[in-house]
């Protein structure tokens, strides 16, 4: 009889402990959810201030405020799955394997230039926690940015609008397509490779082939500010495809000058194989097989 009573007491104790743990976990999730909602509203307000002022110094300060608030918010437990629906002007990408989130935004300032802020979140089965890395812009090496070693602490800076996945499932390689409002005369499109080291730290840059040569760290396409360049991943062909840029035949004196360049009606492709990005000219975008 005593053993039976003891068993009942132990069961009730275990149930009480489990119930307390569940309640505590639910309360923590509710607190995180509330904190994220509040942070999102504060970020939205800072970005709205950016949009409503014409002063570059204030824009810079408000953008930094938004980024600081975002950094704190992304460190909360539920942030990896939170969609931040109020932040319409912020790009929020998620990889197909569900392991990576890339969040970027840009604020326009005078001279057609932009201030960029970004974050990379990485969740791996080998890591106990989600790794959050802030992307920090520095002075760009404008003479040769395609060959520069630019990591998270001296990020090139862009608004990424697409992430695609290549390579082996066990060693995925991600490609980021982005937009950069370079100056008042030209815009740029960018392809950046993203991988991760054993600690979950993002590693930017790869080995790209293009018309310009081999071994480029990233691809940068610069064109007239009024032109529209397409650059996107086509899944059926497993290619990143972009408009080929050229100078109109009517302006031979400006050949090769980005300020006068735009799409010429043909397409270039880039595919990943054996650790490198290979260039394909004159891609037929109606063809379903990779060249």
Say yes or no to pLDDT of 169 above 90. no
Residue carrying structure tokens 């039976």? 4
% of the chain residues with pLDDT over 90: 77
Cβ(104)–Cβ(114) below 8 Å: no
Partners of 101 in beta bridges: 94, 121
Position 4 confidence tier, pLDDT thresholds 50, 70, 90: low
pLDDT digits (tens, 9 = 90+) for 181-206: 999 999 999 999 999 999 999 999 99
Query: How buried is 170 (Cβ within 10 angstroms: 0-12 exposed, 13-18 middle, 19+ buried)?
Result: exposed
Cβ(82)–Cβ(70) below 8 Å: no
Say yes or no to pLDDT of 241 above 60. yes
pLDDT digits (tens, 9 = 90+) for 101-129: 999 999 999 999 999 999 999 998 777 78
Position 34 confidence tier, pLDDT thresholds 50, 70, 90: confident
> Does residue 194 sit in helix, strand or coil?
strand
d(CA 43, CA 193): 28
Per the confidence metrics, is the pTM higher than 0.85?
yes
**Orientation angle between helical segments 56-74 and 2-52, nearest 10 degrees:** 170
């Amino acid at each position: 009889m005593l053993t039976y009573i003891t068993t009942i007491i132990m069961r009730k104790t275990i149930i009480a402990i489990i119930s307390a743990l569940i309640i505590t976990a639910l309360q923590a999730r509710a607190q995180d959810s509330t904190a994220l909602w509040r942070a999102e509203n504060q970020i939205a307000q800072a970005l709205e201030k950016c949009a409503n002022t014409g002063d570059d110094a204030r824009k810079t300060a408000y953008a930094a405020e938004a980024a600081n608030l975002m950094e704190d918010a992304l460190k909360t437990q539920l942030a990896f799955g939170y969609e931040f629906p109020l932040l319409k002007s912020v790009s929020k990408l998620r990889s197909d394997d569900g392991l990576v989130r890339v969040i970027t935004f840009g604020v326009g300032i005078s001279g057609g230039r932009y201030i960029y802020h970004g974050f990379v979140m990485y969740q791996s089965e080998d890591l106990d926690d989600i790794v959050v890395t802030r992307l920090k812009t520095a002075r760009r090496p404008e003479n040769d940015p395609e060959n520069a070693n630019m990591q998270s602490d001296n990020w090139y800076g862009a608004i990424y609008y697409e992430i695609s996945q290549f390579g082996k499932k066990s060693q995925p390689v991600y490609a980021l397509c982005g937009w950069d409002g370079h100056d008042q005369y030209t815009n740029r499109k960018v392809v950046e490779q993203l991988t991760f080291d054993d600690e979950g730290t993002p590693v930017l840059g790869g080995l790209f082939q293009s018309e310009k040569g081999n071994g480029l760290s990233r691809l940068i396409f610069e064109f007239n500010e009024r032109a529209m360049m397409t650059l996107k991943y086509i899944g059926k062909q497993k290619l990143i495809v972009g408009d080929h840029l050229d100078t109109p035949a009517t302006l031979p004196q400006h050949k090769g000058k980005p300020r006068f360049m735009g799409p010429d009606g043909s397409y270039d492709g880039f595919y990943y194989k054996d650790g490198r990005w290979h260039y394909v000219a004159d891609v037929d975008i109606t063809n379903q097989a990779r060249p």
